[in-house]
Structure 1
Amino acid sequence: MQTAIVRHILVKNKELAEQLKKKIHDGADFTKIAKQHSTCNSAKRGGELGEVKKGQLVSVIDKLVFSAAERVLHGPIKSQFGFHLIEIKFRMMH
């Protein structure tokens, strides 16, 4: 079984997601940005989703988490909840 350690930021519009991504690329702290802007319950943990199993997340996010490069900020990715910025800390096979 594949699992991944993931953190993310969820916002309502693409423009805000793009602005936040730029701030993080320019050196802003992901945890602080997540706490200030993310609408997900994970915001209080700095965007940390912890260990997730394949199939546990919304399909568009799940596909990204289990195929995209690790330690890179991906997004914005649209789901029915809004726009996500995703960082895959690492993936594991159990």
Structure 2
Amino acid sequence: MRSAMAKHILVKTKDEAEQLKQRLARGEDFGKLARKHSTCPSKKRDGDLGEIYPGQLVKPIEDVVFKKPLLKVHGPIKSKFGYHLVVVYFRS
């Protein structure tokens, strides 16, 4: 079965996600920003979602995790939870 590993930052607004994406582009640490700004419990693990299998995540995020390039910040991606920035760092 396919699997992937990813980190994400979840925030309430698209504007906040865009600002964080700009900070990441300037070289700020993803984990530190996740711990400080993310509303997801994964923030305690630097935003790490662990090993992910198809069907575990909401569709917009799953599409990124299994279809978009590795090691690139994707987003903001809107879901029913808010706006996500996602980095996929492994896929099998």
Unaligned runs of 5+ in 2: none
Deviation at 1:34, TM superposition (A): 0.1
Give yes or no for the alignment of 1:6 onto 2:9: no
Aligned residue type for 1:24: L
Stretches of 4+ aligned residues off by more than 6 angstroms: none
SS in 1 for 2:50: strand
* Structure 1 residue runs without a partner (length 5+): none
Name the structure 2 match of 1:41: 41
- Residue by residue, what CA displacement relative to the aligned partner does 1:63-94 show, whole Å, maximum 9, x if unpaired? 111100001000000000000000000101xx
Give the match for residue 53 of structure 1: 53
TM score, norm. by length of structure 2: 0.98
- Alignment partner of 2:3: what SS? strand
**What secondary structure is seen at the aligned counterpart in 1 of 2:20?**
helix
The number of residue pairs the alignment matches comes to: 92
State the alpha-carbon separation in 2 of the partners of residues 31 and 38 from structure 1. 10
Larger strand fraction of residues: 1
Over aligned residues, Cα RMSD in angstroms?
Answer: 0.5
